[in-house]
Structure 1
Amino acid sequence: MKYNIIVSMFVFLFLTACNPDFNTNQKDVKHQSSRKRVKSNQKRLKSNQKGLKPKTEVDQNQEANQNQEADQNKITKNTLLDNLRNLIEKVNKDRKKYVKRLEEEPLNQYGILAFKELFWEGTQDKAADNIEKAKIYRQRTYSVLNDFDTNEFKKFSKITMLSKQQQGLFNSFNSFGATIEDTFVFLLNPNKKDNLEKLEISDLENLKNSIEKFLSIKTMISTILTQFLLDYESNKNFIKTDTSKLDFYLATISNQIEEQNAEAIKLKNDIFSIENFKSY
């Protein structure tokens, strides 16, 4: 038995001598594993930071986008200003033309005999008279017939005098001519022209659209009247040989002018109501 105890002690000492760093190795394993986890976490942190940008870079991008938007707005505004200036110049030329026709009006008033037939109710004042309201009436007529050559005025007047619709037709000219003059004078005001650049883009767009539609109505009526002369010469629908047909044709034209004048008045009011435009 003593022999067995000695052998057992010898085995124990031998095993202890072979594994002196057993606990130390475990500690090292744990330490190395911990370092690996820290390193791995650092890698993930760096990876996540790749999706972030420095604040200065974000600010620079925002500033670049704002500058790009400002440049685009400037281009849009300049284009609208150019279009509006061209439209207003057309308005200016049109008005100069019909004003000049009144200023250079011959004694026979271009042969428009209808002026001698038209009186103001309750008075003896005629549209042909040399008085202010008669001059205004004639100028409004010239504004509607602005695309006609003056040598066509006499022919047009003679045809309308064959019809019972002469007074209604010329009065529709007077109504539409008043709308034209009011709108043109408003647009040609020097203060309005000089201050266009102060308007916002939305106001410029609204103004441009309204002027274009207004001028389109004016062109439409001029086309209708020009077509009337052509139809009369060709005796279309017998309007040259049948006065009842002529009456119906001219009554239709009068109604068309009144309807279009109502639309023109709405556009005039739209132009006048642009807050930042009327205030200048």
Structure 2
Amino acid sequence: MKHKIIAGLFVFLFLACNTDFNTKQKDMKYQSSKKRLKSKKKGLTPKTKANPIQEESSTNQKEDHDTAPKNTLLNDLRNLIDKAHANNEKYEKKLKEEPKDQYGIEAFKNLGWSSSPGEKVTADTERAKRYRKNTYSILNTIDDNQLKKFSEIVMLSGQIQGIFNTIEAIEYTLSSLIVPSLYPKKGNLEKLEISNLEKLKDSFEKVLSIKTTVSKMVHQLLLDYQNDTNQIKTDENKLKSHADKLFNQISEKKKEAEKLKDDIFLIINNI
């Protein structure tokens, strides 16, 4: 009996010690977890504050990127306008320096205005001088010493009014765009949106291209006559047919130029 009591005491003591050990282990695990959690929190990288200088630099770069295409358009368009204006001034000067026979263009003596029967293109009036200046400008591909011959060919063809009035009207369309409109307003073009600048540049380039094309077409009449192409030099009827065809072609170009002029005015009228 005594031995049983002693054995029971040992068992009780063992169990008590084991329970205390397990509790300490749990406490140790809990404390260790808390330490690890704190350690992880300390290791977190704090949020970086925005740098005002970097933000401003980024904004400026974006603005530069956005304005670059517009600046390119503006520069290209202004260069076109400057060149066209310089060309117009060139023929203003040529008008002032024209010889008394007006480069031998006899056709001028047969051209005038129905509203003023006595006024011919050879006159010293403002509109007569403007007419001659515009004609000289569009005949720019023909040498001065060949202008007389060109005039004779047109007179022989029977298309004096048709050809001369049409080429003068095309140049008038261009000069009326440059002098009173585009050139004075070129400093305000930045007020236009990019889409309108693109339309303006495209339309103006087309007008300039029409002038170049028509200048080559009328020069070709002179060359074809000199080379007797399709017998237009030796057969007057064939010359007339050739000139009629030329008149119809340049008349279409005149309509194109006038339509483009209207499109341009719609864009620039409000600047």
Structure-2-length-normalised TM-score: 0.81
Pair 113,34 (structure 1): closer, same or farther in 2 beyond 3 Å: same
Q: Residue 54 of structure 1 aligns to a residue in which SS?
A: coil
Worse-superposed segment, 62-71 or 169-178? 62-71
Match of 2:79 among 81, 86, 92: 86
- Is 1:242 the counterpart of 2:235? The answer is yes
Matched, 1:175 2:169: yes
Q: Is the 8 A contact 2:203 2:263 kept in 1?
A: yes
Distance change >3 Å, CA 17–CA 181, structure 1 → 2: closer
Structure 1 partner of 2:96:
103
Structure 1 residues 62, 254: CA separation in 2 closer, same or farther (over 3 Å shift)?
farther
Aligned to 2:20: 21
Name the Cα RMSD after superposition. 3.2
SS at match of 1:124: strand
Question: How far apart are residue 234 of structure 1 and its match?
Answer: 1.1
In structure 1, the residue matched to 2:34 is 35
* Alpha-carbon distance change, 163 to 198 in structure 1, aligned in 2, over 3 angstroms: same
In structure 2, the residue matched to 1:151 is 145
Residue ranges of structure 2 left out of the alignment (5+ in a row): none
Q: Distance in 1 between matches of 2:125 and 2:9?
A: 147
**C-alpha distance in 2, partners of 1:67/1:119?**
61
Q: CA deviation at 1:160?
A: 0.8
- State the 1:60 CA deviation: 4.9
Tell me which amino acid in the other structure corresponds to 1:224: M
Question: Following superposition of structure 1 onto structure 2, how do residues 127-276 of structure 1 map, counting pairs within 5 Å?
Answer: 127-187=121-181, 189-190=183-184, 192-196=185-189, 199=192, 201-274=194-267
Cα deviations by residue, 1:152-192 (Å, 9 ceiling, x for unpaired) = 211101001111222211221232132122112134644x2
Alignment size in residue pairs: 270
Percent sequence identity over aligned pairs: 49
Are residues 194 and 27 of structure 1, via their aligned partners in 2, closer, same or farther at CA, if it must alter by over 3 Å? closer
- Matches of 1:135 and 1:250, distance apart in 2: 26
Q: Which amino acid aligns with 2:93?
A: K
Q: 1:95 to 1:36 in 2, by over 3 A?
A: same
Indicate the SS of the match to 2:113.
coil
AA aligned to 1:210 is S
Q: Structure 1 unaligned segments of length 5 or more: list them.
A: none
C-alpha separation in 2, matches of 1:62 and 1:33: 44
- CA distance in 2 between partners of 1:35 and 1:100 (Å): 96
Contact 2:174 2:208 in 1 (8 A): no
Summarize the Cα distance change of 1:14–1:90 in structure 2 as closer, same or farther, 3 Å threshold.
closer
Cα distance in 1 for residues equivalent to 2:188 and 2:126: 32
Kept after mapping to 1: 8 A contact 2:166/2:250: yes
Normalised by the size of structure 1, how large is the TM-score? 0.79
SS of 1:241 mapped into structure 2: coil
Deviation string, structure 1 residues 85-115 (Cα, Å, up to 9, x no partner): 4322321222123223333333322211112
User: How far apart, CA to CA, are the structure 2 residues paired with 1:213 and 1:6?
Assistant: 121
Q: 1:114 aligns with which of 107, 110, 115?
A: 107
For the 8 Å contact 1:172–1:257, the answer to whether it is kept is yes
Aligned AA (1:107)? K
* Shift in alpha-carbon separation, 1:141–1:269, aligned structure 2, 3 A: same
Q: Work out the CA distance in 1 between the residues paired with 2:219 and 2:168.
A: 18
CA distance in 1, matches of 2:193, 2:261: 19
Q: Is the 8 A contact 2:108 2:121 kept in 1?
A: yes
Distance of 1:9 and 1:130 partners within structure 2: 145
